[in-house]
Amino acid sequence: MPTALITGVTGQDGAYLAQFLLGKGYRVLGLLRRSASSDVIGERLRWLGILDRVELLDGNMSDLGSLIRILQKHEPDEVYNLAAQSFVASSWQQPLLTGMVTGLGAVNMLEAVRTAAPRARFYQASSSEMFGKIQEPRQNERTPFYPRSPYAAAKLYAHWMTVNYRESFSLHASSGILFNHESPLRGIEFVTRKITDGVARIKLGLACELRLGNLEARRDWGHARDYVRAMWLMLQQPAPDDYVVATGRSTSVGEFCRIAFAHAGLDHREFVRVDPALFRPAEVDVLRGDAAKAESVLGWQPESSLEELAAEMVEADLARHRRLRETS
């Protein structure tokens, strides 16, 4: 039975990855940063029905010693570093925290792997936000980076350090440059989930409008369940490398609104209001990925369409709010 360690296991990607690996027969360890909300921190794992099958271990990405001790004790075959301060908007308000967790935290884990588990295969969760002010209409592994937020800059540092550790110390360290990927487990602060939650609230008469920022921003959205499969495929390759993971379809926030509201039989134009206070200090106008390398080398392709993703998220939020209404 192979053993995998996942940092950020209680987040969207970590939960889906844990579910995927358990289905593959792995022993799954999850790094857990203790907090005052520890009673609800495993909600995503519980929602997927796997909370009691994941071994949660105390540790912190800012504490190198704790990472080394975990690797020495459990000797994982694969390490997936998904931990980050991942909300882009918050990175302008907390740039130092973002740099320490998202950037230096990744290097702490790389150093722990080099020291205590050099034969383990390592995955770094890089981000399409690193492309920022895009230099090419479709972004692939050779496209120059131009980060436009503290989050993107921190991710870029972690990405290049992963490349450096691979080349300097011969680690099997790969980076997945993942474009936006969503699901019913996405945090409510992210725009797609904010939209689908708004649709559900309006449909059920709990709200009368939805306030959003830039409706013209365009993203390449896929399903997180598809993207964690790509993470695993990267670590099954004979040699480590970097891969863009994307659908190749770019959609505006406004169009995502139209799709989500239409699924509930609503016209988004009647309910969506633009709030200038929600605009980013520096916007990433458009992202569209080219995943040809992942398709040819990994044999990976997305399985869920944007319409299917939006429908699944709306239905999950409708079910959530109906349950809340019944129990209140």
Could you tell me the residue ranges of all domains in the chain?
3-182+223-245, 191-219+250-284+304-327
Record the tokens describing residue 294, joined without a space.
């992942």
User: Given 26, 80, 123, 151, which residue is catalytic?
Assistant: 151
One-letter identity of residue 135: Q
**Domain 191-219+250-284+304-327 in CATH: superfamily?**
UDP-galactose 4-epimerase, domain 1 (3.90.25.10)
User: Given 66, 91, 126, 127, which residue is catalytic?
Assistant: 127
| pLDDT of res. 326 | 83
Residue 291: pLDDT over 80: yes
* pLDDT tens digits for range 48-99: 999 999 999 999 999 999 999 999 999 999 999 999 877 677 878 888 889 9
Q: How far apart are CA 177 and CA 241, in angstroms?
A: 11
Name residue, tokens 């709030």: 275
Beta-ladder partners of 139: 289
Q: How far apart are CA 44 and CA 53, in angstroms?
A: 13
169 pLDDT band (50/70/90 cuts)?
A: very high
Catalytic-residue membership of 129 = yes
DSSP SS3 for 124 = strand
DSSP SS3 for 40 = coil
Q: Are 223 and 304 in contact (CB under 8 A)?
A: yes
Which of 66, 78, 98, 63 is CA-nearest to residue 28? 78
Which of 64, 75, 74, 86 is CA-nearest to residue 13? 86
| pLDDT of res. 314 | 98
Q: How far apart are CA 190 and CA 219, in angstroms?
A: 13
First to last CA, the chain: 44
Beta-ladder partners of 211: 273
Q: Are 326 and 199 in contact (CB under 8 A)?
A: no
Phi, psi torsion values for 221, nearest 5 degrees: -100, 130
Question: Within a 10 A sphere around the Cβ of 111, how many other Cβ atoms?
Answer: 16
Q: What is the CATH number of domain 3-182+223-245?
A: 3.40.50.720
Give the rounded percent of residues in the chain with a pLDDT score beyond 90. Answer: 86
Give the DSSP per-residue string, 15-40.
Answer: HHHHHHHHHTT-EEEEEE---TTTTT
At a CB cut-off of 8 Å and minimum separation 6, what does 18 contact? 6, 9, 28, 30, 45, 48, 50, 54
176 membership: H or E segment, kind and range: strand 172-178
| pLDDT of res. 36 | 42
* pLDDT tens digits for range 15-60: 999 999 999 999 999 998 776 455 567 899 999 999 999 999 999 9
User: Given 123, 128, 129, 174, which residue is catalytic?
Assistant: 129
* pLDDT tens digits for range 188-214: 989 999 999 999 999 999 999 999 999
Catalytic-residue membership of 123 = no
Q: Are 80 and 17 in contact (CB under 8 A)?
A: yes
Averaged confidence pLDDT in the chain: 94
